[in-house]
Structure 1
Amino acid sequence: MISIRPEALADIPHVRKINETAFGQPSEAGIVDALRTSCPEAISLVAESDGDVIGHILFSPVFVEGEAQTIQGMGLAPMAVLPEHQRQGIGSKLVQAGLEILRRNDCPFVIVLGHPEYYPRFGFKPASQFGLTCQWDGIPDEVFMVIVFDEAVMAGVSGVAKYRNEFDAAM
């Protein structure tokens, strides 16, 4: 049985291992560690099976800087599941749980830089359809996506979506 819950202090070494193993490098784990200490608004969830932490997802603030205003939403990154537990729906459960929390918290939008075959199943669409662009050059349109929860807040909003500075180290 898989359960999704907020990350606890005891989970930190497990979350680091999950991210390093799933991504094959330490960059994403470093971003998570940095955001854990610098960003109290971040939402960090873990997937647990039989007492073992096997998956992780993080949401942190992002901003769309338009001509008239700046709107805060959240960015989904990173999301990781230990390789031996992948393709079992654990990542989907993490995404769904996180999106539901953000919906309930009146988050107007969530962006993701991810697989174009995976994230649309949750309602993500190319961000360009909403007039949003990624802060980093060279990101293909189909991998930079958004899900809009509050169309009224997002009406007329367009511009560059910016992640927190902690992500710059990985790009």
Structure 2
Amino acid sequence: MISLREWEPEDQPATRRLLIRAFGQPDEANLVEALRSEGAVILELVAEAGQQVAGHVLYSALSVEPADGSVRAAALAPLAVDPDFQRRGIGGALIHMSLPMLAHTGVDAVIVVGDAAYYTRFGFSPELAATLQSPFPPGDHFMALELAPGSIEGCRGKVCYARAFGL
């Protein structure tokens, strides 16, 4: 049975191992630790299978400039599931549980860079993000989701990630 909960500091070693296993190298684990150190984390969840951390998702603060301060946005990065637990809906469960939690904290929109075939299932849209100035090359991999309708539609601001991303 899989259970989902908020990340706790005691989860750090298991989360680091998971991220290295899921991505095959330590870059994402280092990013997560840097985001925590920077104080940029808005929400972080884990999925547990028994006593094992089987999945993880992190949302960090990002800004859309110029903006009048009325849009509170978050970056979804990274989302990881241990290879032994993939294709069981854990990543989707983490996203489905976390989006209402983000909205409850006042986040208006979420930005993700990833596989459009996967993330569009959750409402992310390359078209919604198309007017934003991305630090990444153009393409369907850059997507947005509004948690507050109309919050970023047509916005032409520049997306600025937390320093830990090194962009």
What amino acid maps onto 1:55 in structure 2? G
Per the TM alignment, residue 40 of structure 1 is displaced from its structure 2 partner at its CA by 5.5
Equivalent residues in 2 for 1:30-69, closer than 5 Å: 30-39=30-39, 41-66=41-66, 69=68
Paired with 1:149 and 1:130, the residues of 2 have a C-alpha distance of 17
The normalised TM-score by structure 2 is 0.91
Retained in 1: the 8 A contact 2:40–2:162?
no
Tell me the alpha carbon deviations over residues 67-115 of structure 1, each in whole angstroms, 9 at most, x when there is no partner: x535331010001011010011000011111112112223110000011
**Aligned partners of 1:21 and 1:155: how far apart in 2?**
37
SS in 2 for 1:134: coil
Give the aligned partner of residue 160 of structure 2.
162
Deviations 1:31-84 (A, max 9, x none): 101111221643111000112111110000011113x53533101000101101
In structure 2, how many angstroms separate the alpha carbons of the residues matched to 1:72 and 1:106?
A: 7
Answer whether contact 1:128 1:141 (CA < 8 A) is retained. Answer: no
Q: Does 1:120 align with 2:120?
A: yes
Whether contact under 8 Å (2:61, 2:73) holds in the other structure is: yes
Of 127, 145, 148 in structure 2, the residue corresponding to residue 147 of structure 1 is 145
Identity of aligned residues (%): 38
8 A Cα contact 1:127 1:144, kept in partner = no
Structure 1: runs of 5+ lacking an equivalent: none
Deviation at 1:156, TM superposition (A): 5.1
**TM-score (structure 1 length as normaliser):** 0.89
Question: Contact conserved, 1:31 with 1:166, CA < 8 A, in 2?
Answer: yes
The answer to whether the 8 Å contact 1:127/1:133 transfers is no
What's the CA shift for 1:128?
Answer: 5.2
Task: Give the direction of change, closer, same or farther, for the CA distance of 1:74–1:147 in structure 2 (3 Å limit).
Answer: same
Corresponding residue for residue 24 of structure 2: 24
In the superposition, relative to structure 1, how do residues 111 and 40 fare at CA in structure 2: closer, same or farther (>3 Å)?
Answer: closer
- Residue type of the partner of 1:58? L
Task: Give the length in aligned residue pairs.
Answer: 166
